[in-house]
């Protein structure tokens, strides 16, 4: 091998969430190796423990989970509301699971999560037969009263893996058939993992159909590294441009790696070396070389496979030659912050010309080093994107806080220092 820097990333957030929930629903013991131990996944594990699931510490390298089985009857009714912290994935998955449990429970979260849209999840689950008490504005807290559910055929208006997974989980737990179509294919981890566990889940274009099973077995999963975390280091390596960087054992599911295609189009030299599979999920090593970037157009069809990477792609676009436009990005308004508005405001604050419209974002690249103060909105991906931009030679970027990366990537600043040392 070369003298390239090599980094082992934290376990994938989406896969860790799914592994925890599916292990909680399995019959028997599961072992999850290399899980992500961050605030979001600890919120998920914490709520599952409150429902009576035995889950060992996420920090120990391997998590052991004793499942409660399907049917919903094995979980305990919680005495107080279930707090999902900042995690939209936890809140939405658990709404699906609780819809099939024969009692009432309340889901809540931090100030950001309480503002995020939940009616999109409640609507199909209500059609399946669960009852909900919701706040007047779309958000949390929500009380869900679950029980026996009906099968559903549902056409979603948004491409959302959290919505799709909530409905698949409700069908799995209640043992009823579900079919869900979405306008564009969102990440398909839930479908792949369920198939790997022997559940008949058919994927036909943008439609996923689940046929009920009696039980799912306990399993072992080695969680590959998070491509969304990798994207920040890929960007930092491209900006620092000093030597080759290798990111090892990363999840390279094509519904997650849209950012690689866009970066290649912008002129980046990135290769993926095949590294096998883990519970139906393709794994690989990413090798990032040097390259100068130019602007590009990102189409609405490309967005679901790079939805979480838009903040970091936008800061890279700010350093590229020419203009980059992202189409079909209105979903960014309802992420951990209003990412569309905040991205544009922050890019302008550091001297980059940028316009946010209702459904698009335009960034004009500049050779001038970025300088100024950034409001992260307590959003982990906003903080990490602008920390990366701060590694452009000559830059002076100050963040309003440095703690939010703990939501998804607790070791972020250490890894960033390795790939692109400050100053
Ligand atoms: C996720 C799905 C996406 C993504 C989020 C994680 C998942 O959200 O933005 O960070 O693990 O299913 P939507 O389902 O709202 O698109």
The 10s digit of each residue's pLDDT in 52-83 is 999 999 998 899 999 999 999 999 999 999 99
Residue 289 resides in a domain: yes
- Report CA(94)–ligand 1 centroid distance (Å): 14
Decide which of 143, 174, 205 is a domain's last residue. 205
Q: Which of 108, 313, 293 is nearest to 228 (CA)?
A: 313
Residue 282 belongs to domain spanning? 227-419
CA distances from residue 399 to 54, 238, 361 in whole angstroms, order as listed: 39, 21, 22
Question: Residue 136: its pLDDT value, please?
Answer: 95
Question: Is 2 a domain residue?
Answer: no
The total number of structural domains in the chain stands at: 2
113 token code pair? 């999560």
What residue owns the CA closest to ligand 1's atom 10?
308
Same domain, 190 and 236: no
Using CA positions, which residue lies closest to atom 15 of ligand 1?
A: 160
What residues are paired with 207 via a beta bridge? Answer: 181, 204
Parallel/antiparallel/unpaired status of strands 245-251 and 220-222 = unpaired
Instruction: Give the three-class secondary structure for 153.
Output: strand
**pLDDT > 90: percent of the chain:** 96
**The domain boundary residue, chosen from 175, 205, 235:** 205
Which CATH number do you get for residue 51?
A: 3.65.10.10
> Quick check: 317 and 268 in contact, CB under 8 A?
no
Whether 179 and 233 share a structural domain: no
193 within ligand 1 shell (Cβ under 6 A): no
Choice from 39, 124, 156, 162 to test ligand 1 binding pocket (greatest atom count within 8 A of CB): 162
Mutate to test the pocket of ligand 1, among 161, 228, 332 (most ligand atoms within 8 A of CB): 161
Q: Which of 205, 240, 256 is the last residue of a domain?
A: 205
The predicted model scores a pTM of 0.98
Asked whether the predicted pLDDT for residue 163 surpasses 80, the reply is yes
323 in a structural domain: yes
| 298 and 340 in a common domain | yes
**305 and 170 share one domain:** no
Instruction: Report the alpha-carbon distance of residue 54 to residue 49 in Å, rounded.
Output: 6
Residue 273 shares a structural domain with residue 184: no
Residue 331 Cα to ligand 1 midpoint, Å, equals 10
Q: Average pLDDT of the chain?
A: 97
Is 213 domain-assigned? no
The residue to which tokens 């839930």 are assigned:
190
Residue 300 has a pLDDT of: 98
Q: Is 221 within a domain?
A: no
For residue 141, is the peptide bond before it cis, meaning its omega torsion is within 30 degrees of 0?
A: yes
Q: Grade residue 2 by pLDDT with cuts at 50, 70 and 90.
A: very low
Ligand 1 pocket member 101 (CB < 6 A): no
Residues 172 and 231 in one domain: no
Active-site residue, from 110, 188, 226, 308:
308
Quick one: average pLDDT of 313-336? Answer: 98
**Active site annotation includes 403:** no
Query: Residues 138-164: what's their mean pLDDT?
Result: 98
| Residue 138 lies inside a defined structural domain of this protein | yes
- Please report whether residue 7 resides in a domain: no
Q: Which of 357, 30, 76 is nearest to 220 (CA)?
A: 30
Question: 240 with 178, same domain?
Answer: no
| pLDDT digit string, tens, across residues 224-280 | 999 999 999 999 999 987 788 999 999 999 999 999 999 999 999 999 999 999 999
Do 239 and 276 belong to one domain? Answer: yes
């Amino acid at each position: 091998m070369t003298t390239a820097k090599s980094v082992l990333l934290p376990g994938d957030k989406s896969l860790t969430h799914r592994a925890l929930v599916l292990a909680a629903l399995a019959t028997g013991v599961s072992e999850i190796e290399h899980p992500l131990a961050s605030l979001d996944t600890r919120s998920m594990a914490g709520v599952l423990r409150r429902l009576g699931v035995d889950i060992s510490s996420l920090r120990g390298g391997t998590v052991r989970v004793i499942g409660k089985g399907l049917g919903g009857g094995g979980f305990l009714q919680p005495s107080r509301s279930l707090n999902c912290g900042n995690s939209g994935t936890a809140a939405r998955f658990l709404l699906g699971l609780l819809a099939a449990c024969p009692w009432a429970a309340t889901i809540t979260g931090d100030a950001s999560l309480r503002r995020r849209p939940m009616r999109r999840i409640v609507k199909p689950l209500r059609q399946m037969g669960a009852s909900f008490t919701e706040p007047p504005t779309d958000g949390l807290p929500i009380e869900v009263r679950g029980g026996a559910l009906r099968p559903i055929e549902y056409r979603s208006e948004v491409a959302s893996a959290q919505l799709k997974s909530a409905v698949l989980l409700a069908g799995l737990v209640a043992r009823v058939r579900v079919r869900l179509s979405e306008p564009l294919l969102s990440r398909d981890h839930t479908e792949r993992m369920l198939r790997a566990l022997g559940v008949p889940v058919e994927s036909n274009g943008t439609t996923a159909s689940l046929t009920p099973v009696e039980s799912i077995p306990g399993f072992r999963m080695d969680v590959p590294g998070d491509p969304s975390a990798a994207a920040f280091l890929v960007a930092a390596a491209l900006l620092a441009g000093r030597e080759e960087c290798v990111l090892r054992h990363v999840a390279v599911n094509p519904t997650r790696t849209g950012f690689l295609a866009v970066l290649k189009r912008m002129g980046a030299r990135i290769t993926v070396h095949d590294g096998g599979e883990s519970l139906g999920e393709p794994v690989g090593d990413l090798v990032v070389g040097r390259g100068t970037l130019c602007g590009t157009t990102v189409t609405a069809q490309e967005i679901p496979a790079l939805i979480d990477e838009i903040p970091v792609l936008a800061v890279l676009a700010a350093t590229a030659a020419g203009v980059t436009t992202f189409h079909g990005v209105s979903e960014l308004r309802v992420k951990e912050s209003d990412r569309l508005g905040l991205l544009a405001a922050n890019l302008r604050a550091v001297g980059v010309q940028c316009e946010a419209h209702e459904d698009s974002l335009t960034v004009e690249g500049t050779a001038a080093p970025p300088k100024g103060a950034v409001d992260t909105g307590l959003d982990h991906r906003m903080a990490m994107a602008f920390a990366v931009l701060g590694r452009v030679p000559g830059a002076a970027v100050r963040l309003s806080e440095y703690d939010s990366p703990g939501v998804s990537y607790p070791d972020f600043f250490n890894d960033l220092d390795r790939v692109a040392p400050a100053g």
